[in-house]
Amino acid sequence: GAVVSQHPSRVICKSGTSVKIECRSLDFQATTMFWYRQFPKQSLMLMATSNEGSKATYEQGVEKDKFLINHASLTLSTLTVTSAHPEDSSFYICSAIRGGGTEAFFGQGTRLTVV
């Protein structure tokens, strides 16, 4: 199956700093990638859809100035959590769907802890 790689897997940062999370599709080109946030024992909440070469589409209630998404190439999307606060601590996970396919491939996820 296709592989999506996400980095880093864990990160601890201080309040007020920014953290960048990378999501790479290793063996296919992904014009669209999805970013999710997941709290313990809860579902995956779609934050935004990352579109290669254009602006991301954010879901209602997600601050686009706080969660910056860049999809500069067909294999890389990044999510930057700016001015992080403890309430931003969560599990962030990306996914991509191969063109024409129906199966979403997920990265390993990033556990962010803001102290």
CB of 16 to another protein, least distance (A): 28
When asked if residue 11 is in the footprint of another protein (CB under 8 A), the reply is no
> What 8-state DSSP symbol labels residue 50?
E
In the complex with another protein, the residue whose CB is nearer, 13 or 104, is: 104
**Beta 110-114 vs 10-13: how paired, if at all?**
parallel
Is residue 13 a contact point for another protein (CB under 8 A)?
no
Q: Which of 30, 93, 112, 114 binds another protein (CB under 8 A)?
A: 93
Q: Is 80 exposed, middle or buried (0-12, 13-18, 19+ CB in 10 A)?
A: middle
| Residue 104 contacts another protein per CB under 8 A | yes
The residue range among 17-25, 51-59, 63-71, 76-84 that interacts with another protein, by the rule CB under 8 A, is 51-59
Enter the tokens of residue 51.
């579109």
Q: Does 57 bind another protein (CB under 8 A)?
A: yes
Binding residue for another protein (CB under 8 A) from 28, 49, 62, 76?
49
Residue 39 CB coordination number (10 Å) = 11
For 32, which DSSP code? E
- From the list 63, 83, 74, the residue with the least C-alpha distance to 24 is 74
* Residues in touch with another protein (CB under 8 A): 32, 34, 36, 41-46, 49, 51, 57, 59, 93, 95, 97, 102-109
